[in-house]
């Protein structure tokens, strides 16, 4: 009988889904934007991302914060590599693929957030 009852997501799960979705869309868009920078500006911007990510990871209290810092470091390294003529093509491809994948994943998570919120509002 318990299987027939609909269970709604807790508020914590709903917030987590929405936050992951928005963060993935923003980070994916940032990767696509960073992909366009090249030359010395891309190297400087990538270096700034590496320093920022290192600072966030070092001061992190939670695992999620550490993962966010590591993702920032990875984006910085890819931005630096994409700015170099020798390996720029491969790094640029990876940035585009990763950015598009993150935007798609984030879109699905945002859709799930709104669908679940609407169901909770209706009481279904």
pLDDT tens by residue, 73-101? 888 888 888 888 877 778 888 888 888 99
pTM of the shown model: 0.71
CA angle 55, 59, 64 (to 5 degrees): 100
Nearest to 109 by CA among 7, 8, 29, 15: 15
pLDDT tens by residue, 29-73? 888 888 877 778 888 988 998 998 899 888 888 887 788 888 888
């Amino acid at each position: 009988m318990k299987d027939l009852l609909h269970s709604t997501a807790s508020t914590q799960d709903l917030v987590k889904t929405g936050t992951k979705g928005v963060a993935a869309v923003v980070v994916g868009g940032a990767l696509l934007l960073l992909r366009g920078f090249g030359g010395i500006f891309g190297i400087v911007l990538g270096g700034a991302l590496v320093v920022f990510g290192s600072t966030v990871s070092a001061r992190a209290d939670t695992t999620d914060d550490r993962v966010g810092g590591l993702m920032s470091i990875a984006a910085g390294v890819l931005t630096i590599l994409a700015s170099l003529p020798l390996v720029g093509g491969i790094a640029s491809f990876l940035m585009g693929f990763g950015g598009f994948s993150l935007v798609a994943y984030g879109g699905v998570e945002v859709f799930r957030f709104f669908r679940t919120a609407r169901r909770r509002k209706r009481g279904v």
